[in-house]
């Protein structure tokens, strides 16, 4: 092969290598630009997704919390105020197209103290049913006479339309427990033990006895 041909081939070869290198460099630049654009898109999408994820997690927490709660008690006051929606709940109201809507917020379940207040208020608001209150008072009085320990006494007894309020005074807490186990078996309804308190030497118990077939507004 002549040296001239070798020179031409070397030039062509060098030119080809240089062309490939330039092409690769161009592709790299294009890839970098595409990558940068992709990163920008991902950053933008992440901002939206983070907000959606936060809303979704809030919704899930509310959902789980409400699902674990029972339906409102059958005797809950119909006019009971609803809890005001919190900021987190408000954020969960528009969580995005792939997140289920947050359930309505239910009021927290009644505590024992709230139940006591409700029943006391219900008793105070009741009119007196003369017929029932007389019979109910007699039934309770008979039960107390038959089963109260000698050291215990009835401090007060008042019946109205569906509830009787009784205050019993015992010498000791054990007397109350023993009486409650067996002493009210003749009473045909349920009995709510609203309060037990040591007052000096006395152990005072407040009971709300309900009419047969009714449930107190606990």
Partner 1 sequence: MKRFQTLAKVCAFGVVALSAGTAAAWQYYPGIAFKAAYASDAACFNVHSYSGIRNDCTTTRLAIASVPMWTVGYHPTTVQIYGNNSWCETETVNGVGNAGQVGATTYTVAGPMAWQTLNTGDRYVWEDFALVFRCGLQSGGIIGGFTID
User: Cβ(165)–Cβ(208) under 8 Å?
Assistant: yes
| Dist. CA 4–CA 92, nearest whole Å | 80
Is 110 a residue that touches partner 1 (CB under 8 A)? Answer: yes
Residues 29-58 contacting partner 1, CB under 8 A: 49, 52-53, 56-57
Identified binder of partner 1 from the candidate list 123, 144, 160, 189, rule CB under 8 A: 189
Identified binder of partner 1 from the candidate list 100, 104, 107, 130, rule CB under 8 A: 100
Is 172 a residue that touches partner 1 (CB under 8 A)? Answer: no
| Dist. CA 204–CA 181, nearest whole Å | 17
Is 99 a residue that touches partner 1 (CB under 8 A)? Answer: yes
Residues in contact with 131: Cβ distance below 8 Å, sequence separation at least 6, in sequence order: none
Residue 147, both tokens: 């089963």
User: Cβ(211)–Cβ(162) under 8 Å?
Assistant: yes
Q: Which residue has the tokens 């920008």?
A: 40
CB of 98 to partner 1, least distance (A): 6
Binding site for partner 1 (CB under 8 A): 49, 52-53, 56-57, 59-60, 63-64, 67-75, 98-100, 109-112, 115, 177, 180, 184-185, 187-193, 196, 212, 215-216, 218
């Amino acid at each position: 092969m002549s040296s001239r041909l070798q020179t031409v081939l070397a030039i062509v070869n060098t030119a080809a290598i240089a062309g490939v290198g330039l092409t690769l460099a161009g592709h790299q630049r294009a890839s970098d630009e595409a990558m940068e654009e992709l990163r920008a898109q991902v950053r933008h999408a992440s901002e939206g997704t983070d907000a959606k994820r936060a809303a979704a997690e809030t919704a899930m927490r509310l959902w789980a919390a409400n699902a674990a709660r029972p339906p409102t008690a059958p005797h809950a006051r119909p006019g009971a105020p609803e809890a005001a929606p919190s900021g987190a709940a408000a954020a969960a109201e528009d969580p995005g197209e792939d997140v289920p809507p947050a359930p309505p917020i239910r009021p927290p379940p009644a505590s024992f103290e709230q139940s006591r207040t409700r029943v006391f208020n219900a008793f105070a608001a009741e009119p007196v049913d003369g017929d029932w209150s007389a019979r109910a008072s007699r039934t309770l009085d008979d039960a107390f006479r038959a089963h109260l320990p000698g050291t215990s006494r009835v401090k007060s007894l008042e019946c109205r339309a569906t509830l009787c309020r009784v205050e019993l005074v015992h010498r000791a807490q054990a007397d109350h427990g023993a009486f409650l186990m067996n002493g009210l078996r003749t009473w045909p309804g349920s009995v709510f033990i609203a309060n037990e308190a040591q007052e000096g030497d006395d152990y005072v118990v407040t009971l709300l006895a309900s009419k047969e077939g009714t449930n107190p507004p606990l």
